[in-house]
Amino acid sequence: MYCPQCGTENAEGTAHCIQCGAALEGGQVFQPPGGAPQPLVKNHLVWSILVTLFCCLPFGIVAIVKSAGVNTLVAAGDYQGAIEKANSAKKWIWISFAVGLVVIIISIILQVLAVLSQKM
């Protein structure tokens, strides 16, 4: 596995990086060709921003805060915390999406009812 801090290759199962001493346990690291090693923790930040803009502002902001915290935890080498935070962000994205969807559906129904009542 590769060290998330410095990119040094360490033997599988090594607890700490031989180069810089960063904790490696549970750290899944993906190394793109020609790039620096990146941890395999998605922060869902793009989706958090999208649901905030298009669905539900208050819940979307919670998702953004949690998503932003994922990178901080990854940088600190806390993969377990980062994964938990990412899952939490994903949950809030879905809540925000669901609330936004319900609001949109209700507004469509109200508009349809308004049009129907005008015709009657």
Instruction: Output the smallest distance, CB 14 to Zn ion, in A.
Output: 10
Q: Which residues pair with 95 in a beta bridge?
A: none
Residue 75 interacting with Zn ion (CB under 5 A): no
Q: Which residues pair with 39 in a beta bridge?
A: 29
DSSP character at residue 30: E
Residue 5 interacting with Zn ion (CB under 5 A): yes
Instruction: Output the smallest distance, CB 105 to Zn ion, in A.
Output: 50
DSSP class per residue in 55-105: T-HHHHHHHHHHHHHHHHHHHTT-HHHHHHHHHHHHHHHHHHHHHHHHHHH
Instruction: Output the smallest distance, CB 21 to Zn ion, in A.
Output: 7
In the shown chain, the binding pattern of residues 19 to 58 toward Zn ion, with x for contact by CB under 5 A and - for none, equals xx-x------------------------------------
Q: Which residues bind Zn ion (CB under 5 A)?
A: 3, 5-6, 8, 17, 19-20, 22
